[in-house]
């Protein structure tokens, strides 16, 4: 067998999992208002069950009605049973084993829904002039009872495994943590007293369900970012006691609301960065242990289990990116796996960014079918069409691969000598190598499938006439915007691609004009990798740098800029470039930033598609403009548009 440890069965109490892969609880926004099950949520999990996952865990699900935010899933009363029964019947029919993550959110609910309240151990500031009160003993008793009732309801709904969420600073962990718990009654003070509430919750769950139902507990490996909080050893000590109360498995996560970048780690974190903590819990508790933390490769997962560091692995975003991850790995077809790159653009950013409300549910840069699984279940065609694709960037490759899978005949033409386009180029920036790897993996997949790929072949009207396609997809991308400033024609002024490909000859002091994602990454690249560069200054005319980054990636990039002593200036306009440097203005102040080189990173503009579109119109050939060729945006938009065009071809 390929990966014999990863894909071996595991029996816990009365449940046997077909393999050691856990699809964990992750927010999706796929529930109906009030936390009810939808067909989209069912389809999403069914796809991963069909893809071979061992255990499918539903996202955080409220156990207590008065503290259940309307935008979270819920099982707080019997009105939710019908939906969850439908869910379990569908996932079981697809071969899956189901788990529900039972959740009470501590201080989170009132921030999500003003009609709820917090359940926390002690009074807590919550914004200017607002203090959340500590829970009364009566409220604690009510919540404990709710945990038990929700557990009984979960078993009635057909869930095979239950997960008790005691991490991420939700109510069980808040009571456990001396960083939050300042009570002086039976629920505070000593470690024994601080354990009381979470242990009562476990007891209520265990008493409400049959003995053969496994109980998993999710914990954070210490209170990262919480002054005076629990250490890893403190949480291990609690977990050992929890085992005596009936916990069978421990899911060792990381992060708190004060350190969300550890809870949903970006590409800036090493793959498997939290596995060592799982090994500590396994050794310290003897429980079936689940490792978490950027595990996105089958060999990586196999090695974790084979080495005894954990018994199972969480592969969450890995299976968002590819619902068939397990099936492909089991078949020895790793080359077909579409890899998560840790960008967070479609998952976390669509939950927590400033414009999150504009998105109906999560998605994925690598997999636009997320949340739209039924829509993307398009049968293979019995009317193959020849589709000419102009441009071999991430959008063009997505279109080619999907069209080939649907039985069409894509012909992918790329003007340069390499597929990947700007997506590959982005992977040359610091800590983003997985993006260039993913680009090359997609290129290799097209080669394996035998897709007609033509490099060094820009699409022209003559090429269109030669191919005579049924439709054309124009994905030729964009080109960097040049500076319209006095002095910008000097040979010391270069673009970002010249830097990232290693062809720059910059020395001394460098100014980067433009403080968006690309400008910041190039600034860090120069400061970190080029010993000839002595200083780097980023000049941004807007009020902040990194405006186009997601929250967590921005935290990481800004932190690394500081570590590399990169200076950033905002609300600052470049006026001209001289032999001495860059003349800038902020308000009424004007001065020169010394510079022997200038890098321009002020955005992109779409390449002109008029010649191609006019020719298609003249020949009555349907065409589609996607990605940056339509409007410069993020890679997630290009991939989504490519996929939508591909499934529309009939």
CB hemisphere CA count around 136 (13 angstroms):
4
pLDDT in the model for residue 190: 97
According to the model, what pLDDT value does residue 319 have?
Answer: 98
- CA nearest neighbour of 522 among 538, 509, 507: 538
DSSP codes joined into one string, 311-370: SEEE-SHHHHH-TTHHHHHHTT-GGGPPPP-S--TTTTHHHHSTTGGG-SS---SS-TTT
Which tokens sit at 153?
Answer: 């309801």
Confidence label for 261 from pLDDT (cuts 50, 70 and 90):
confident
- Please give the positions annotated as active site: 170
Whether the pLDDT of residue 133 is over 80: the answer is yes
Cβ atoms of residues 511 and 492 within 8 Å = no
Residue 126: per-residue pLDDT: 87
Summarize the confidence of residues 550-558 as an average pLDDT: 93
Mean model confidence pLDDT for the chain:
96
CATH code 3.50.50.60 region(s) in the chain: 493-602
Q: Over 90: is that where the pLDDT of 544 sits?
A: yes
Q: What are 208-244's pLDDT values in tens digits?
A: 999 999 999 999 999 998 999 999 999 999 999 999 9
pLDDT confidence bin for 532, thresholds 50/70/90 = very high
Give the pLDDT score at 353. Answer: 84
pLDDT band at 393 (very low <50, low <70, confident <90, very high): very high
- What is the three-class DSSP state of 452? strand
pLDDT (0 to 100) of residue 260 = 85
Distance of alpha carbon 299 from alpha carbon 193, whole angstroms: 43
Binned at pLDDT 50, 70 and 90, residue 434 comes out as: very high
Taking residues 395-408, report their average pLDDT: 98
Q: In the structure, what pLDDT confidence band is assigned to residue 572 with cuts at 50, 70 and 90?
A: very high
**Encoded tokens for 197:** 């509430």
pLDDT of res. 328: 97
User: What Cα–Cα distance (Å) separates residue 603 from each residue in 335, 514, 593, 637?
Assistant: 34, 8, 22, 16
According to the model, what pLDDT value does residue 48 have? Answer: 98
Q: Which of 354, 351, 375, 374 is nearest to 364 (CA)?
A: 351
Condensed to tens digits (0 to 9), the pLDDT of residues 167-223 reads 999 999 999 999 999 999 999 999 999 999 999 999 999 999 999 999 999 999 999
Is the pTM higher than 0.85? The answer reads yes
Q: Judge whether residue 476 has pLDDT over 90.
A: yes
As a three-state string, the secondary structure of 25-87 is CCCCCCCECCCECCHHHHHHHHHHHHCCCCEEEEEEEECCHHHCCCCCEECCCHHHHHHHHHH
pLDDT digits 0-9 by tens, 11-51: 999 999 999 999 999 999 999 999 999 999 999 999 999 99
Quickly count helices (H) and strands (E) in the chain: 23, 28
pLDDT of 451 above 80 = yes
Percent of the chain with pLDDT over 70: 100
Does 258 have pLDDT greater than 90? no
pLDDT for residue 8 is more than 90: yes
In the predicted structure, residue 257 carries a pLDDT above the cut 80? no
The whole-number pLDDT of residue 603 equals 93
Query: Is it the case that residue 642 has pLDDT exceeding 80?
Result: yes
3-class SS of residue 191: helix
pLDDT at 422 over 90: yes
Q: Name the token pair of 145.
A: 């009872």
- pLDDT tens readout for residues 586-627: 999 999 999 999 999 999 999 999 999 999 999 999 999 999
Section 134-141 average pLDDT: 98
Rounded Cα distance, 313 and 24, in Å? 10
Class of CATH domain 10-358: alpha beta
**Under a CB-based contact definition with an 8 Å cutoff, are residues 526 and 560 in contact?**
no
The ranges of the chain annotated as CATH 3.40.50.720 are 386-480+606-648
Which helix (H) or strand (E) segment holds residue 641: the answer is helix 635-648
Model confidence at 504, in pLDDT bands (50, 70, 90)? confident
CA distance 404 to 395: 14
Q: Is the pLDDT of residue 505 over 90?
A: no
Fold of 493-602: FAD/NAD(P)-binding domain (3.50.50)
Candidates 3.30.1280.10, 3.40.50.720, 3.30.43.10, 1.10.10.10; CATH matching 386-480+606-648? 3.40.50.720
Q: Is the pLDDT of residue 508 over 90?
A: yes
Is the Cα dihedral 441, 442, 448, 452 positive or negative? Answer: negative
pLDDT at residue 256, as a whole number: 82
Res 61: pLDDT: 98
Q: What is the pLDDT of residue 268?
A: 93
């Amino acid at each position: 067998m390929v990966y014999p440890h990863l894909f071996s069965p595991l029996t816990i109490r009365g449940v046997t999992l077909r393999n050691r892969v856990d699809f964990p609880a992750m927010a999706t926004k796929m529930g109906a208002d009030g936390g009810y099950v939808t067909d989209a949520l069912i389809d999403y999990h069914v796809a991963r069950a069909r893809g071979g996952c061992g255990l499918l865990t539903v996202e955080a699900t409220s156990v207590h009605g008065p503290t259940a935010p309307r935008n979270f899933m819920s099982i707080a009363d019997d009105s939710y049973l019908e939906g969850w029964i439908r869910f379990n019947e569908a996932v079981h029919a697809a071969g899956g084993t189901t788990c529900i993550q039972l959740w009470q959110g501590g201080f989170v609910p009132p921030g999500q829904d003003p009609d709820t309240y917090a359940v926390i151990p002690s009074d807590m500031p919550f914004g200017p002039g607002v203090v959340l009160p500590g829970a009364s003993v009566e409220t604690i008793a009510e919540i404990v009872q709710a945990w038990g009732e929700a557990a009984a309801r979960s078993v009635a709904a057909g869930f095979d495994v239950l997960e008790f969420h005691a991490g991420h600073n939700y109510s069980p962990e808040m009571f456990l943590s001396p960083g939050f718990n300042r009570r002086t009654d039976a629920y505070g003070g000593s470690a024994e007293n601080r354990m009381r509430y979470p242990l009562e919750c476990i007891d209520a769950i265990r008493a409400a369900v049959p003995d053969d139902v496994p109980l998993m507990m999710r914990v954070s490996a210490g209170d990262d970012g919480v002054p005076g909080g629990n250490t890893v050893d403190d949480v291990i000590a609690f977990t050992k006691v929890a085992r005596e109360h009936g916990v069978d498995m421990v899911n060792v996560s990381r992060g708190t609301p004060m350190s969300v970048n550890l809870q949903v780690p970006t590409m800036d974190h090493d793959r498997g960065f939290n596995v060592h903590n799982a090994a500590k819990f396994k050794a310290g508790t003897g429980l079936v242990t689940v490792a978490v933390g950027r595990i996105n490769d089958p060999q990586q997962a196999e090695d974790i289990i084979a080495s005894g560091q954990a018994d199972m692995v969480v592969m969450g975003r890995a299976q968002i990116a590819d619902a068939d991850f397990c099936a492909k790995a089991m078949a020895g077809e790793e080359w077909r796996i579409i890899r998560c790159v840790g960008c967070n653009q479609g998952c976390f950013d669509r939950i927590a960014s400033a414009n999150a409300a504009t998105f109906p549910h999560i998605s994925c840069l690598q997999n636009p079918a997320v949340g739209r699984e039924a829509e993307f279940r398009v049968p293979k065609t019995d009317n193959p069409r020849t589709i000419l694709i102009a441009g071999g960037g991430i959008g063009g490759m997505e279109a080619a691969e999907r069209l080939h899978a649907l039985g069409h005949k894509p012909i992918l033409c790329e003007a340069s000598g390499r597929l990947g386009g700007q997506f590959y180029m982005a992977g040359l920036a610091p800590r983003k190598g997985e993006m260039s790897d993913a680009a090359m993996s997609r290129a290799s997949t097209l080669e394996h499938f035998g897709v007609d790929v033509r490099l060094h072949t820009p699409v022209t009207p003559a090429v269109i006439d030669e191919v005579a396609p049924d439709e054309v997809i124009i994905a030729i991308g964009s080109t960097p915007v040049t500076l319209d400033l006095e002095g910008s024609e000097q040979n010391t002024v270069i673009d970002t691609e010249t830097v990232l490909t290693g062809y720059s000859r910059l020395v001394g002091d460098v100014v980067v004009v433009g403080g968006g994602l690309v400008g910041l990454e190039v600034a860090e690249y120069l400061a970190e990798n080029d010993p000839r560069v002595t200083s780097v200054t980023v000049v941004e005319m807007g009020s902040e740098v990194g405006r186009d980054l997601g929250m967590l990636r921005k935290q990481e990039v800004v932190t690394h800029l500081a570590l590399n002593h990169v200076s950033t200036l905002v609300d600052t306009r470049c006026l001209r470039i001289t032999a001495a440097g860059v003349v800038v203005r902020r308000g009424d102040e004007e001065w020169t930033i010394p510079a022997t080189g200038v890098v321009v990173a002020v955005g992109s503009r779409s390449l002109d598609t008029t010649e191609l579109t006019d020719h298609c119109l003249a020949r009555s050939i349907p065409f589609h403009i996607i990605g940056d060729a339509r409007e410069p945006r993020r890679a997630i938009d290009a991939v989504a548009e490519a996929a939508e065009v591909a499934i529309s071809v009939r």
